[in-house]
């Protein structure tokens, strides 16, 4: 059990991320986030805290993404466009 990340630990501690210049994540319709998605689950299921609600919109800090690929399934409105970063970019795990 010693190798599991504890919930209070920052997962970025175990990774090196080489971000591409363009985001591999986008929100399809910010209006859905604002008007229909009351609990905004993306802001708490993402283990790397990529999403936050600020200025009446979901902000996407894509450079923090550790590519767990939870977000396309976790958004109740299918409102997140996600694909792997361009080859040679993205996350490298150090564990």
Contact set with ligand SF4 (CB under 6 A): 25, 27, 32-33, 37, 40-42, 46-48, 50, 58, 65-71, 75, 77, 79-80
**Rounded Cα–Cα distance for residues 69 and 91 (Å):** 12
CB-nearer residue toward ligand SF4: 1 or 45: 45
CB atoms within 10 A of CB 33: 22
What are the CA-CA distances from residue 3 to residues 14, 43, 94, 95 (Å)?
A: 11, 26, 12, 8
CB-nearer residue toward ligand SF4: 6 or 39: 39
Smallest separation, CB 66 to ligand SF4 (Å): 5
């Amino acid at each position: 059990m010693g190798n599991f990340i504890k919930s209070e630990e920052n997962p970025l501690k175990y990774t090196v991320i080489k971000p591409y210049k363009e985001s591999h994540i986008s929100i399809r319709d910010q209006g859905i986030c604002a008007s229909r998605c009351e609990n905004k689950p993306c802001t708490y299921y993402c283990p790397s805290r990529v999403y936050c609600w600020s200025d009446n919109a979901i902000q996407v800090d894509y450079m923090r993404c550790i590519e767990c690929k939870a977000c396309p399934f976790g958004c109740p409105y299918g409102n997140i466009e996600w694909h792997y970063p361009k080859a040679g970019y993205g996350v490298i795990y150090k564990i």
